[in-house]
Structures are given as structure tokens and as C-alpha cells.
Amino acid sequence: MLNLVDKTVEALLLRRGFHTQRGKELITIKAAAEIEKMRAAGKIAVGALEVMRELIAPGITTKALDKAARTYIEKCGAKPSFLGYRNFPASTTISVNSQVIHGVPGSYRLTEGDIVSVDVGAFKDGYHGDVCRTFTVGKVNPAAQRLINVTRECFFEGLKFARAGGRLHDISSAIQRHAESAGYSVVREYIGHGVGRNLHEPPDVPNFKPKGRGPVLSPGMTFAVEPMVNAGGHEIRILDDGWTVVTQDGSLSAHYENTVLITQGGPELLTVVAED
């Protein structure tokens, strides 16, 4: 039971925009004005993603896609969230086929039948928006398309539990359950996260069920929920560039991410992608 001092501290933190979990990580509660800024940042991130989607075709380099995204973000008066983050050398991460996340854009030319995961963040007026989709390059085989479809479904299965009064890890459990029921696995080492003033902030949002049910969800919380699903095993390794994460067994991987706001009436996506 919380004592009077603890209760007073917790009440003050909540009034100042923080949600506490009894001495654990602090989860920020965004005010209405902050949420509007996150919507704006999310809209810019989505716009950059859509620019890249239109350009995806056999023969284009991942570096050219990254350049197009950066140009769009900067013309919107924002900054790429990823550029320089922990010394990351590009504006977006572009991960092809067996690459899970954090693919560094470069000279690779997309090929018919590839699948390509494009992760974009935009920073505007002090807040971030974060979004990712896995796209196809031309015609892909049915197995690759099924993986993309199931990864998307995993997100929306998790989203059913993103409600005020619910528990965070119920989202995680739903994602894992759906992926594994389809014969796939979820990556353990990389997970979703809180997002707002910082690109990564509490809480962690796993795609698998950890111990316990996690924090209670409250209106004003914002998370990046992002299933990363492998066609084979969940094990991964990092390439020599220090960034690109690939499946250990060489199987395909897909990624689907939105910035999610918890509201009293249910979850709201702050990164709405057309024709999704």
C-alpha cells in the first residue's frame, strides 16, 4: 500500500504529465496540445512513407528512397528522427527480405520479388511520429505476401487491447499469439516503445508476453506498437555495419508499426496510412 508521501508524489507527477507504476518507469501522459503536435509529426512521417512507397520499384536504390524521404520531411519543416540518432547514418531504415530492422540505406537496388520494410520517423515542434510498413517490390510469392499480411494482422490483434484500464502486456500477448498461430515467430531483442518528446521513452512494448501484465493503460499515453515477425525462427544477428539486424536462419521478416494514442474511447492511430 502506498503511504501518504508516495501518494502525494504520485499525484504531483500525474498533474505534471507523468504516470507512475509504483516506483517503476515513468510513462508520460500527453496533454491535448502535445497530442496535436504528435499528430502533425505523425502526418509528416506518413507522408514520407507514402513518397517512398510510390518510388519502390525494381532498380531503385535504398539510398535514393532514403534521400526522397529526407527531402519530404525537411520540406515539411521537420527533421528525420533517425538521422544521427545514436550515430545512425541515414534518415530512414530500409530492411530488405531477411533484414528485420535498422537496415542502412545504400547502393542495393531493389529487385522484383523483394519485400522491403521502410521505417520512418519525423520530429516536429518537439515531438516525434514513428511509422513502418513492409512493401512488395513488383510481384512477390504467396508465402512472402502472407507474412506481410499476418504481420499487419498482429498489429490489429494487439490494438484490440490498447484501451484505457487495460494492461500493456495484453497487447504483447495478442501479437505473439497471432504470429505463432500462423506458424511464424516474433523477434525478442527488438520491441516497441513509448514515443513523444523522445523517440524512445518508457514503456517497453514487447511483441511477446513478458512476466506479468505490465502497466495499466491511461488516456494520453502514446506508444509505437510494432510487430516484427519472422517466417522462420525468432533468432537474429547484427551485420558488420553494426546496425542491420537479420534473421539468423535467413528467413524473411516483416514489420508493421504505428504511433498509437490511448484515449478514453479507445485507441487512436496518429500515423494513418492511406490504402492500408
Q: pLDDT at position 2, please?
A: 38
Q: pLDDT at position 26, please?
A: 87
For residues 34-45, average pLDDT: 98
Output the nine-digit C-alpha cell for 90.
541515414
pLDDT greater than 70 at residue 1? no
Q: If residue 73 lies in a helix (H) or strand (E), which one and from where to where?
A: helix 62-75
For residues 71-82, average pLDDT: 98
Q: Where are the beta strands (DSSP E) in the chain?
A: 18-19, 27-28, 79-80, 92-96, 99-101, 115-124, 127-136, 185-186, 192-194, 201-205, 222-225, 228-230, 236-238, 245-247, 253-255, 258-263, 266-269
Model confidence over 187-244: pLDDT tens digits?
999 999 999 999 999 999 999 999 889 999 999 999 999 999 999 999 999 999 999 9
Q: pLDDT at position 274, please?
A: 87
Q: pLDDT at position 13, please?
A: 46
Name the β-bridge partners of 123: 79, 128
Q: pLDDT at position 275, please?
A: 75
All structural domains of the chain, each given as residue ranges with its CATH number in brackets, are 28-269 (3.90.230.10)
Q: pLDDT at position 196, please?
A: 98
Name the β-bridge partners of 28: 18
pLDDT band at 20 (very low <50, low <70, confident <90, very high): very low
pLDDT greater than 60 at residue 63? yes
Portion of the chain with pLDDT greater than 90, in percent: 89
For residues 258-263, average pLDDT: 98
CA distance 249 to 113: 19
18-27, 179-188, 192-201, 245-254, range with the lowest pLDDT:
18-27
pLDDT greater than 60 at residue 136? yes
Q: What is the pTM of this model?
A: 0.91
Q: pLDDT at position 9, please?
A: 47
pLDDT band at 263 (very low <50, low <70, confident <90, very high): very high
